[in-house]
Chains A and B, each alone.
Chain A
Protein backbone atom coordinates (compact mmCIF):
# COMPACT_ATOMS: atom_id res chain seq x y z
CA UNK A 1 0.00 0.00 0.00
CA UNK A 2 1.37 3.40 -0.99
CA UNK A 3 1.90 5.65 2.01
CA UNK A 4 3.06 9.26 1.99
CA UNK A 5 3.50 10.92 5.37
CA UNK A 6 4.29 14.62 5.50
CA UNK A 7 5.86 16.41 8.44
CA UNK A 8 7.40 19.75 9.33
CA UNK A 9 4.42 22.07 9.08
CA UNK A 10 4.40 24.76 11.79
CA UNK A 11 3.63 28.39 12.48
CA UNK A 12 6.39 30.57 11.01
CA UNK A 13 6.85 34.31 10.75
CA UNK A 14 6.76 36.16 7.41
CA UNK A 15 10.19 36.12 5.84
CA UNK A 16 11.10 32.91 7.62
CA UNK A 17 12.19 29.53 6.32
CA UNK A 18 10.93 26.00 6.75
CA UNK A 19 11.64 22.52 5.44
CA UNK A 20 8.91 19.98 4.88
CA UNK A 21 9.57 16.25 4.64
CA UNK A 22 7.60 13.39 3.17
CA UNK A 23 8.35 9.78 4.08
CA UNK A 24 7.31 7.38 1.33
CA UNK A 25 6.64 3.66 1.55
CA UNK A 26 4.78 0.91 -0.26
CA UNK A 27 6.42 1.53 -3.65
CA UNK A 28 9.89 1.84 -5.19
CA UNK A 29 10.43 5.52 -4.41
CA UNK A 30 13.47 6.00 -6.66
CA UNK A 31 11.45 5.01 -9.75
CA UNK A 32 8.88 7.80 -9.62
CA UNK A 33 8.67 11.56 -9.93
CA UNK A 34 7.25 13.33 -6.90
CA UNK A 35 5.50 16.61 -6.31
CA UNK A 36 4.15 19.05 -3.74
CA UNK A 37 0.66 20.51 -4.07
CA UNK A 38 -0.82 22.99 -1.63
CA UNK A 39 -4.28 24.10 -0.59
CA UNK A 40 -4.90 27.37 1.22
CA UNK A 41 -7.69 27.29 3.83
CA UNK A 42 -11.04 27.08 2.08
CA UNK A 43 -9.40 27.36 -1.36
CA UNK A 44 -8.54 25.13 -4.29
CA UNK A 45 -5.47 23.11 -5.18
CA UNK A 46 -2.24 24.73 -6.38
CA UNK A 47 0.73 22.82 -7.75
CA UNK A 48 3.98 23.91 -6.06
CA UNK A 49 6.83 21.82 -7.47
CA UNK A 50 7.82 18.54 -9.11
CA UNK A 51 11.05 16.54 -9.19
CA UNK A 52 12.10 13.68 -11.46
CA UNK A 53 12.95 10.21 -10.18
CA UNK A 54 16.71 10.83 -9.88
CA UNK A 55 16.31 14.47 -8.91
CA UNK A 56 17.88 15.89 -12.04
CA UNK A 57 14.82 17.75 -13.29
CA UNK A 58 12.61 20.15 -11.33
CA UNK A 59 9.77 22.50 -12.21
CA UNK A 60 8.11 25.29 -10.26
CA UNK A 61 5.29 27.78 -10.85
CA UNK A 62 6.22 31.46 -10.85
CA UNK A 63 4.48 31.93 -7.48
CA UNK A 64 7.26 30.02 -5.66
CA UNK A 65 10.17 30.03 -8.11
CA UNK A 66 13.35 31.25 -6.44
CA UNK A 67 11.87 30.80 -2.95
CA UNK A 68 11.08 27.07 -2.80
CA UNK A 69 13.37 24.14 -3.59
CA UNK A 70 12.24 20.56 -3.99
CA UNK A 71 14.71 17.75 -3.40
CA UNK A 72 14.78 14.06 -2.60
CA UNK A 73 16.95 11.45 -0.91
CA UNK A 74 16.29 8.13 -2.62
CA UNK A 75 18.40 6.28 -0.05
CA UNK A 76 15.96 7.43 2.63
CA UNK A 77 12.76 7.30 0.55
CA UNK A 78 12.15 10.90 1.50
CA UNK A 79 10.99 13.99 -0.39
CA UNK A 80 11.70 17.52 0.83
CA UNK A 81 10.48 21.04 0.24
CA UNK A 82 12.73 23.85 1.41
CA UNK A 83 10.73 27.07 1.68
CA UNK A 84 12.23 30.50 2.26
CA UNK A 85 11.09 34.12 2.23
CA UNK A 86 7.70 32.86 3.34
CA UNK A 87 4.65 35.07 2.89
CA UNK A 88 1.18 35.05 4.38
CA UNK A 89 -0.16 33.74 1.07
CA UNK A 90 1.98 30.61 1.46
CA UNK A 91 -0.28 29.54 4.33
CA UNK A 92 -1.75 26.21 3.26
CA UNK A 93 -1.90 22.48 3.73
CA UNK A 94 1.01 21.03 1.75
CA UNK A 95 0.44 17.63 0.17
CA UNK A 96 3.16 15.22 -0.90
CA UNK A 97 2.08 13.59 -4.15
CA UNK A 98 3.38 10.67 -6.18
CA UNK A 99 3.32 10.82 -9.97
CA UNK A 100 2.75 7.90 -12.32
CA UNK A 101 5.94 8.41 -14.36
CA UNK A 102 9.61 9.17 -13.89
CA UNK A 103 10.48 12.65 -15.14
CA UNK A 104 7.58 14.77 -13.89
CA UNK A 105 6.87 16.26 -17.30
CA UNK A 106 3.28 16.04 -18.60
CA UNK A 107 2.52 13.39 -16.04
CA UNK A 108 -0.22 13.10 -13.44
CA UNK A 109 -0.70 12.59 -9.70
CA UNK A 110 -1.92 9.21 -8.48
CA UNK A 111 -1.37 9.08 -4.71
CA UNK A 112 -1.59 11.88 -2.14
CA UNK A 113 -0.46 12.13 1.47
CA UNK A 114 -2.71 13.57 4.18
CA UNK A 115 -0.91 16.91 4.21
CA UNK A 116 0.88 19.12 6.71
CA UNK A 117 -0.28 22.63 7.64
CA UNK A 118 2.06 25.58 7.21
CA UNK A 119 0.91 28.85 8.75
CA UNK A 120 2.78 32.05 7.96
CA UNK A 121 1.83 34.76 10.41
CA UNK A 122 3.37 37.21 12.84
Chain B
Protein backbone atom coordinates (compact mmCIF):
# COMPACT_ATOMS: atom_id res chain seq x y z
CA UNK B 1 0.00 0.00 0.00
CA UNK B 2 1.46 3.34 -1.11
CA UNK B 3 2.19 6.12 1.36
CA UNK B 4 0.90 8.67 -1.15
CA UNK B 5 -2.62 8.23 -2.46
CA UNK B 6 -3.60 8.87 -6.07
CA UNK B 7 -6.80 8.03 -7.96
CA UNK B 8 -6.25 4.89 -10.04
CA UNK B 9 -7.53 6.47 -13.23
CA UNK B 10 -8.46 9.72 -14.94
CA UNK B 11 -9.68 10.44 -18.43
CA UNK B 12 -10.67 13.18 -20.82
CA UNK B 13 -11.23 13.98 -24.44
CA UNK B 14 -8.61 15.73 -26.56
CA UNK B 15 -8.30 19.37 -25.57
CA UNK B 16 -9.79 18.90 -22.11
CA UNK B 17 -8.12 19.55 -18.79
CA UNK B 18 -7.37 16.64 -16.45
CA UNK B 19 -6.25 16.94 -12.84
CA UNK B 20 -4.58 14.23 -10.76
CA UNK B 21 -4.40 14.48 -6.98
CA UNK B 22 -1.72 13.14 -4.63
CA UNK B 23 -2.55 12.96 -0.94
CA UNK B 24 0.04 12.47 1.77
CA UNK B 25 0.79 13.53 5.31
CA UNK B 26 2.79 16.00 7.31
CA UNK B 27 5.91 13.82 7.24
CA UNK B 28 6.08 13.70 3.46
CA UNK B 29 4.19 16.21 1.30
CA UNK B 30 3.62 18.45 4.30
CA UNK B 31 7.32 19.20 4.68
CA UNK B 32 9.00 18.24 1.39
CA UNK B 33 8.82 19.09 -2.27
CA UNK B 34 6.74 16.97 -4.62
CA UNK B 35 7.83 15.53 -7.95
CA UNK B 36 5.82 14.04 -10.79
CA UNK B 37 6.86 11.33 -13.24
CA UNK B 38 5.25 10.22 -16.48
CA UNK B 39 5.56 6.61 -17.59
CA UNK B 40 4.39 5.71 -21.06
CA UNK B 41 3.61 1.97 -21.23
CA UNK B 42 6.69 -0.12 -21.91
CA UNK B 43 9.13 2.69 -21.17
CA UNK B 44 11.03 4.09 -18.19
CA UNK B 45 9.57 6.91 -16.08
CA UNK B 46 10.42 10.48 -17.06
CA UNK B 47 10.63 13.53 -14.80
CA UNK B 48 7.68 15.81 -15.51
CA UNK B 49 7.54 18.28 -12.60
CA UNK B 50 10.14 19.04 -9.93
CA UNK B 51 9.97 21.08 -6.73
CA UNK B 52 6.14 21.15 -6.80
CA UNK B 53 5.63 23.28 -9.88
CA UNK B 54 8.81 23.49 -11.98
CA UNK B 55 9.05 21.99 -15.45
CA UNK B 56 12.31 20.56 -16.80
CA UNK B 57 13.33 21.86 -20.18
CA UNK B 58 11.43 20.10 -22.94
CA UNK B 59 8.27 19.47 -20.90
CA UNK B 60 5.33 21.29 -22.47
CA UNK B 61 3.67 24.05 -20.46
CA UNK B 62 0.43 22.07 -20.72
CA UNK B 63 1.71 20.27 -17.63
CA UNK B 64 1.56 22.12 -14.32
CA UNK B 65 1.96 21.17 -10.68
CA UNK B 66 0.85 22.63 -7.38
CA UNK B 67 1.04 21.82 -3.69
CA UNK B 68 -1.03 22.86 -0.70
CA UNK B 69 -0.61 21.48 2.79
CA UNK B 70 -0.37 17.70 2.61
CA UNK B 71 -1.67 17.38 -0.95
CA UNK B 72 -0.37 18.04 -4.43
CA UNK B 73 -1.85 17.94 -7.88
CA UNK B 74 -0.82 17.64 -11.48
CA UNK B 75 -2.87 19.29 -14.21
CA UNK B 76 -2.75 18.49 -17.89
CA UNK B 77 -4.44 21.09 -20.05
CA UNK B 78 -5.14 20.72 -23.76
CA UNK B 79 -5.06 16.93 -23.40
CA UNK B 80 -3.40 15.10 -26.30
CA UNK B 81 -3.31 11.44 -27.30
CA UNK B 82 0.38 11.22 -26.45
CA UNK B 83 -0.44 12.09 -22.84
CA UNK B 84 -1.85 8.60 -22.32
CA UNK B 85 0.42 7.25 -19.62
CA UNK B 86 0.77 6.44 -15.95
CA UNK B 87 1.59 9.37 -13.68
CA UNK B 88 3.30 9.08 -10.30
CA UNK B 89 3.89 11.62 -7.56
CA UNK B 90 6.92 11.24 -5.29
CA UNK B 91 8.61 12.88 -2.35
CA UNK B 92 10.83 12.24 0.68
CA UNK B 93 9.26 11.00 3.88
CA UNK B 94 10.87 12.27 7.09
CA UNK B 95 9.42 9.49 9.24
CA UNK B 96 10.42 6.67 6.92
CA UNK B 97 13.69 8.41 6.02
CA UNK B 98 13.30 7.48 2.39
CA UNK B 99 11.61 8.22 -0.90
CA UNK B 100 7.96 7.39 -1.40
CA UNK B 101 5.84 7.16 -4.52
CA UNK B 102 2.16 7.54 -5.14
CA UNK B 103 0.12 4.57 -6.26
CA UNK B 104 -0.02 5.89 -9.80
CA UNK B 105 -2.81 7.25 -12.01
CA UNK B 106 -3.54 5.94 -15.47
CA UNK B 107 -4.64 8.72 -17.79
CA UNK B 108 -6.76 7.73 -20.78
CA UNK B 109 -7.53 10.01 -23.70
CA UNK B 110 -11.01 9.14 -24.91
Interfacial residues, chain A to chain B (CB-CB below 8 A): 35, 37, 44-47, 50, 59-62, 95, 100, 105-115
Contacts and interface: CB of A to CB of B under 8 A. Distances in A.
What bracket does the count of chain B residues touching chain A fall in? 20 to 34
A44 B104 contact: yes
Interface of B is mostly: strand
A109 B90 contact: yes
B96 A115 contact: no
Contact of B101 (A45, A100, A106, A115): A45
Contacts of A47: 98-101
Nearest to A62: B96
Nearest to B46: A112
> Which A-B residue pairs are the 8 nearest by beta carbons?
A47-B99, A112-B44, A44-B104, A45-B101, A106-B92, A108-B35, A61-B98, A110-B47
A44 B89 CA distance: 11
B2 to A, nearest CB: 6
Interface in B74-108: 86, 88, 90, 92, 96-104
